[in-house]
Amino acid sequence: MGPTPNFLLSDLKQAQPIQGWEDFWAEGKAFLKTASAAYAQHKKAFTTVILYNIIAMAIEKFVMTALMCQGKLPNNHTMKDLVEAMDEAFPSAMSGGIREGLLKLDQYQEICDVDTFNITGPAMEEIPVMLDLAGRLQDLVEKQLLTGKNEK
C-alpha cells in the first residue's frame, strides 16, 4: 500500500480576503492626495525624496489592497516584489506601462542591505510621472480589482 496524502486538493479552501484591506486602501488614497497637493502647491518642505517616498507608500498600499482582497501577500515590499506578486495574482492587470513604471521606481532606493544602502532623489520633473503612475494604479485597483468588494 502506497503513501497517502495528508490532505486532498478538495480540502483546500479558496483564499479569503485578508482583513484590513480597507485600511490599506484608505491610507493609499491619503498618501496620494498628500503627495499630489504638496507637489501642486510647490511646498518646499516636500523634497523630491520625500515626495518619492510618499508616492511609493501610496503605491504599496494600493498593491497590498489588491493582494489582500485576493487573500495573497507579496514575498517582500520592494517594487520588484510587489510587481511579481501582482503579476502572479492578476496576470493581465499590469499593462499600459504600470508594470515598467513600478519597476523603474526601485532605482531610487537600495535600502535592504546596510552595506550597499543608497538613496538617489528623482528630479522634480519625474514627480508628475510618478503621481500619474500611482493614480493609474489606484484606478486599476478600484475599477478592476475591487469590483464587488464593500469599500469604505
User: How far is C-alpha 86 from the geometric centre of its chain's CA atoms?
Assistant: 9
> What is the pLDDT averaged over residues 30-47?
96
Task: Find which of 119-123, 126-130, 140-144 is predicted with most confidence, using mean pLDDT.
Answer: 126-130
Q: Which fold has domain 20-145?
A: Four Helix Bundle (Hemerythrin (Met), subunit A) (1.20.120)
- Reported pTM: 0.83
Q: Where are the domains of the chain?
A: 20-145
pLDDT score, position 96:
80
Give the model's confidence band at 111: pLDDT under 50 very low, under 70 low, under 90 confident, else very high: low
DSSP 3-state helix, strand, coil percentages of the chain (rounded to 5)?
Answer: 60, 5, 40
Res 148 pLDDT > 60: no
Residue 109 has pLDDT above 80, yes or no: no
Asked whether the predicted pLDDT for residue 118 surpasses 80, the reply is no
Instruction: Tell whether the model's pLDDT for residue 150 goes beyond 50.
Output: no
| Rounded Cα gap, residues 27 and 47, in angstroms | 21
